[in-house]
């Protein structure tokens, strides 16, 4: 049994009794791989058992947990993740606090952080640079330090409190419910050994840098950064991240020009070969969070893209957490709907994906709607 931080490697056997490849999987120990421990966390447990000096790797395990959105449900990490956090703090490589949860706390100018906020979206600011700038100016917050735009991490504590309080008041006055507004604040995770003002200082930004490496088939580059390359490897990863962001912006413009199609229980778009299948899910999530292209947060969004290996159509699904709280489970939707057309799928309740045969999109959508309608029955 996996108890506390004890790491047990499950040695599975084939039907003939031969030993198969050992594995470490939270699900084998009745732990949620969606909220309590990520793959990065499981890998960390193995590394820690190999030597106490490896406790400094706890920070990377938390980056993995945040990258897997394991802090999304409760606005904080839970389960064995918290034991990993304590290891990181003891090793002097990790700290955490309650703060604004928006992406870009270290590297984005404050107004840009607000402009691209999506969990939750802020009326009048999300998607509007002018709206975000006007909001900050009205609070008397200096936007620059000399020629440099100030990021959230550069603000004084009293300035942060002023902005956070005003954001809550704005959101409530615009009709956002208290549960939604509370999602603005939560735990944030700081890699204390990393330089301030860089992507590596904030767990969410570090995870995004690694994600851009993986999605553009440069996993080895992300590994080099994780192993401590802060010169050539980091520079290449940061360059790749900038290219990744440009690709996302271009993809969003493409969908805005093409438009979303809406049905009773979902909304969808088909990018064909115009958007890489490795980033179409990210695009879907960004559209849902920002409301661009007319994306409706009250509906899950389904995104199709032609697989780059020519083996079918990639399907990605995203939903607002409010829908999940009403019973939506995109993992179940993707698994069943994909299987119904000869494909396969799965994932998490709030984000999932799959692969289906080309030409099966309409049948997939009908099956997905049927499942979603049952899951949300009564709401």
pLDDT of 108-129, one tens digit each?
A: 999 999 988 877 778 888 878 9
Residue 5 has pLDDT above 90, yes or no: no
Whether pLDDT at 289 is above 80 = no
CB 186 within 8 Å of CB 76: yes
pLDDT tens profile 303-349: 999 998 878 999 999 998 889 889 999 999 999 999 999 999 998 88
Summary mean pLDDT of the chain? 91
pLDDT at residue 3, as a whole number: 44
Distance between CA atoms of 79 and 64, rounded to whole angstroms? 14
Q: List, for residues 336-370, the tens digit of each pLDDT value.
A: 999 999 999 998 888 999 999 999 999 999 999 99
Range in 73-82, 90-99, 109-118 with the lowest mean pLDDT: 109-118
Q: Residue 272: which residues within 8 A CB-CB, separation 6 or more?
A: 304, 305, 306
Q: In whole angstroms, give the CA distance from residue 103 to residue 290.
A: 13
Q: Is 259-375 a domain of CATH 3.30.870.10?
A: no
Between 6 and 253, name the one with better pLDDT.
253
Question: Cβ distance 43 to 61 under 8 Å?
Answer: yes
- Phi, psi (5° rounding) for residue 119? -135, 80
Helix axes 58-67, 80-90, angle to 10 degrees: 140
| pLDDT above 50 for 286 | yes
Other CB atoms within 10 A of residue 201 CB: 20
What local confidence, expressed as pLDDT, does residue 86 receive?
98
Tokens for 300, please give them: 């899950």
SS3 sequence of 109-176: EHHHHHHCCCCCCCCCCCCCHHHHHHHHHHCCCCCEECCEECEHHHCCHHHHHHHHHHHHHHHHHCCC
Helix (H) or strand (E) holding 284: helix 280-290
Mean pLDDT value across residues 284-303: 89
Cα separation, 57 vs 191, in Å, equals 11
Strands (E), the chain: 95-100, 144-145, 148-149, 185-190, 261-262, 267-270, 301-306, 313-318, 344-347, 351-356
- Please, which contacts does 323-332 make with residues 24 or more away whose CB atoms are closer than 8 Å? 323/298, 323/376, 324/349, 324/350, 326/376, 326/379, 327/375, 327/376, 327/377, 327/379, 328/300, 328/372, 328/375, 328/376, 329/375, 330/300, 332/371, 332/375
pLDDT recorded at residue 1: 33
What pLDDT score was predicted for residue 12?
A: 52
pLDDT of residue 92: 97
pLDDT at 14 over 80: no
Residue 97 reports pLDDT greater than 90: yes
Share above pLDDT 90 across residues of the chain, in percent, rounded to a whole number? 73
Q: Higher pLDDT residue, 344 or 178? A: 344
The model's confidence at residue 154, banded by pLDDT at 50, 70 and 90, is very high
Q: Whose CA is closest to 266, among 230, 224, 312, 319? A: 319
- Map out the domains of the chain as residue ranges: 26-97, 102-183, 259-375
Q: What is the pLDDT of residue 136?
A: 97
Residue 147: what pLDDT?
Answer: 93
């Amino acid at each position: 049994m996996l108890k506390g931080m004890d790491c047990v490697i499950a040695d599975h056997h084939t039907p003939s009794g031969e030993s198969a490849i050992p594995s470490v999987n939270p699900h084998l120990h009745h732990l949620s791989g969606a909220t309590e421990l990520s793959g990065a966390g499981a890998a960390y447990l193995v590394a820690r058992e190999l030597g106490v000096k490896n406790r400094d790797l706890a920070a990377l395990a938390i980056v993995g947990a945040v990258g897997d959105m394991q802090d999304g449900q409760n606005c904080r990490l839970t389960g064995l993740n918290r034991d990993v956090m304590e290891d990181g703090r003891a090793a002097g490589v990790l700290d955490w606090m309650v703060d604004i949860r928006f992406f870009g706390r270290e590297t984005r100018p404050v107004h840009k952080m607000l402009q691209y906020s999506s969990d939750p979206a802020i009326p009048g600011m999300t998607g509007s640079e002018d709206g975000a700038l006007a909001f900050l100016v009205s609070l008397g917050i200096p936007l620059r330090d000399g020629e440099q735009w100030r990021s959230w991490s550069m603000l004084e504590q009293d300035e942060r409190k002023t902005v956070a309080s005003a954001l809550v008041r704005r959101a409530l006055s615009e009709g956002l419910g208290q549960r939604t507004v509370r999602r603005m604040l939560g735990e944030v995770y700081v890699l204390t050994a990393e330089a301030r003002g860089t992507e590596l200082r904030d767990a969410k930004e570090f995870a995004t840098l690694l994600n851009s490496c993986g999605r553009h088939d440069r996993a080895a580059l992300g590994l080099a950064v994780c192993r401590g390359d802060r010169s050539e490897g980091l520079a290449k990863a940061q360059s790749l991240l900038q290219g990744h962001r440009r690709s996302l912006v271009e993809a969003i413009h493409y969908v805005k020009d093409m438009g979303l199609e809406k049905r009773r229980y979902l909304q969808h778009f088909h990018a064909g070969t115009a958007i890489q299948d490795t980033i179409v899910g990210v695009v879907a999530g960004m559209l849902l969070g920002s409301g661009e292209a007319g994306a409706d947060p009250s509906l899950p969004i389904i995104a199709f893209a032609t697989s780059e290996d020519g083996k079918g159509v990639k399907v990605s699904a995203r939903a607002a957490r409010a829908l999940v709280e009403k019973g939506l489970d995109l993992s179940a939707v993707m698994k069943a709907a994909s299987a119904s057309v000869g494909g396969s799928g799965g994932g998490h309740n709030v984000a999932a994906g799959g692969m289906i045969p080309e030409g099966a999109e309409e049948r997939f959508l009908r099956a997905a709607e049927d499942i979603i309608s049952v899951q949300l029955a009564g709401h």
